Amino acid sequence: MLVRLSTVAVAALLTLASAARVCAADAVKQRPGMAYVPAGEFQMGSRADDPKVFDHERDSEQPQHTVKLKAFYIDTTEVTNKQYETYKGHARDENSLCDDCPVTQVTWFDAKAYCESQKKRLPTEAEWEKAAKGGKDETFEPLDDYAWFNANSIKSTKPVGQKKANGYGIHDMLGNVREWTNDWFDQGWYKKSPSEDPKGPDTGERKVERGGAFFLPARSVTTTIRYNHPPTFRLYFLGFRCAQDP
């Protein structure tokens, strides 16, 4: 026996189905303490006419180039002292003492192990920069609204998540502390890096760190400047956040 549905009933069913798909998509994208960064292209590196770029950093930050990434998640804030200490004991640095201040004095290996203990991973350098840019290729102004740097925080870090979030809902990508990424550092990497899901050189001696720090001037707190240290280093201005696959 065939049942005929009215036009109104069919429309209602289609609306419900569409709403269900939207709700399902939203559910997939929501993970506590993490932001969803959609798949797609972005411009990696600094523009050739960017006045903030130091001359000695141009070979590292340029040329600006198109990079296509798969979707991923990233922590909305840096990993805090309190979060890290639920994983293992840690002596807090005098420049980052509060529970909700970013954990520092951790090696790249420490950061990697923590992320893996949370079923996460360190972000690639490309993922970090796409997340930091928040869906646009512009500077964040006024910088004081978005970052802790020498003009507002020269003596110490601050609790995470107090400054404005970027377009992806992520805090503190600029300033507060620099952050380890998964990639090995290569000064001329942008001239030869793959355009799709780059993961950095296969080997190296120093790991890329990003994001500036609480004691640095505004010119050193950008989404594109590339810092680096050996992975065994522990520094009072260096922390991390984790990423995760969908």
Q: Confirm if 78 and 176 have CB atoms less than 8 A apart.
A: yes
246 Cβ contact list (under 8 Å, min separation 6) = 28, 36, 70, 71, 72, 73
Residue 74's pLDDT band (cuts 50, 70, 90): very high
Check pLDDT > 90 for residue 200: yes
| Mean local confidence (pLDDT), 210-225 | 96
In sequence order, the β-bridge partners of residue 67 are 42
Query: What's the whole-model pTM score?
Result: 0.88
Q: Confirm if 14 and 96 have CB atoms less than 8 A apart.
A: no
Residue 19's pLDDT band (cuts 50, 70, 90): very low
Which of 213, 141, 142 lies closest to 173 in space, CA to CA?
213
Residue 98 burial (10 A CB sphere; 0-12, 13-18, 19+): middle
Residue 28's pLDDT band (cuts 50, 70, 90): low
Write out the two tokens for 10.
Answer: 């069919």
Per residue in 102-141, pLDDT (tens digit) is: 999 999 999 999 999 999 999 999 999 999 999 998 889 9
Check pLDDT > 70 for residue 7: no
HSE toward the beta carbon, residue 88, CA cutoff 13 A: 9
Distance (Å, whole) CA 153 – CA 214: 6
Residue 138: predicted pLDDT: 84
**Average pLDDT of the chain to the nearest whole number:** 91
Which amino acid, 45? G
Write out the two tokens for 163.
Answer: 């400054």
| Mean local confidence (pLDDT), 203-230 | 97
Per residue in 47-65, pLDDT (tens digit) is: 999 999 999 999 999 999 9
Beta strand residue intervals within 185-233, DSSP E: 207-210, 226-229
Check pLDDT > 60 for residue 72: yes
Residue 118: predicted pLDDT: 98
**CATH of 33-244 given 3.40.50.1980, 3.40.50.300, 3.90.1580.10, 3.90.230.10:** 3.90.1580.10
Distance (Å, whole) CA 243 – CA 246: 10
